[in-house]
Amino acid sequence: MTTGDDFKAGQVLLIDKPLNWTSFQVVNKLRWSIRNAFNIKKIKVGHAGTLDPLATGLLVICTGKMTKQINTFQAQIKEYTGTIVLGSTTPSYDLETEIDKTFSTAHITEAQIKETTKQFIGDIEQYPPIFSAIKKEGKRLYEFARAGETVEIKPRSIHIAEFEITNIEGLEVQFRVVCSKGTYIRSLAYDFGKALQSGGHLSGLRRTKIGDFKVSNALSVNNFIDRLPSE
């Protein structure tokens, strides 16, 4: 059984983040649970790469001295699966905000959808969403967005190793993507719709891998807590 000293010495925990939780909420819940289970006053706990509240899947959580490895884990290649809805956009590029524009999709074929993925393979420039936690002038971008303020966003260089269409049902396009640190899948959904001379937004996202870590080996938050000693 893992002890409190083990958590302080350093553990790497694989957690399957639930829908509508922030990554910060998961970290806080685990930190509180570990402290409570082992009567520890203070312990470092952090995650190696944020997931949006509307995304699920793999969070790599580090405790104690293993928090020094967070930057190493963050830099590793990531894999996601998800769904892009064609024909409409939202300001946040996902379902956090309401649809603001609709576009024709009559011209789009399945062959065209699959062919268009090739435009995104390799080193590309990507604009992060305005609804993101990136800081500019001391504020998060989403703070500007929610205040209705316009702000200049600079593109980022990212790398997409694989972009595969796994299923197409009407306007819903299911995909798998393998990409570098700093890639916004919401932006990919938006740009993909634009490349099809239409619109696109993300309706679902799941992180399945970070480096060699797999979500299939992850525990739910509740399962992790259930494995801790109780009074």
Q: φ and ψ at 210, to 5 degrees?
A: -135, 110
Check if 52 is active-site: yes
Residue type, 187: S
| Catalytic member of 6, 16, 52, 100 | 52
Q: Catalytic positions, please? A: 52
